[in-house]
Chain A
Amino acid sequence: MKPAPFGYLAPRSVDETLELMASHGDDAKVIAGGQSLGPLLNLRLATPAMVIDLNRILELAGISAHDGDGLTIGAMTRQHDAETSPAVAAACPLLAEALPYVAHRTIRNRGTIGGSLAHSDPAAELPAVVTAVRAEMVIRSRSGERTIPAEEFFLGYFTAALEPDELLVAVRVPAVPARTTSAWQEFATRSGDYAIVGVAAVIGLDGAGVVDRASIVCSGIADVPRQLSTAQSALVGQEPTSAVIAAAVAAQHTDPPADLVGSSSYRRHLVGVLAQRALEAATERQEGNDDRPTG
Chain B
Amino acid sequence: MSQIEEVSLDKFKHLVSERALTGETMLLNMGPQHPSTHGVLRLLLELDGEIIVNCIPDIGYLHTGIEKNMEAKTYQKAEVMTDRLDYMNTMGNNLAYVMAVEKLVDLDVPVRAQALRVILTELQRIASHLVWLGTSGLDLAAMSMFLYCFREREQILDIFELVSGQRMMTTYFRPGGVWRDVPVEFEKAVRDFIKIFPKRVDEYETLLTKNPLFLDRMLSIGRLSKEVALSYGVTGPMLRASGVDWDLRKARPYCGYEQYDFNVPTRTEGDTYARYLVRVQELRESIKIVEQALNKLPLGPVRSSNRKFVTPPRSEIGVSMESLIHHFKLWTEGFPAPKASIYSAVESPRGELGLMLEGDGGPKPYRVHLRTPSFDNLGVLSQIVKGHLVADLVAILSSTDIVLGDIDR
Decide if A and B are genuine partners.
Answer: no
Query: B interface vs A, CB < 8 Å?
Result: none
Query: A interface vs B, CB < 8 Å?
Result: none
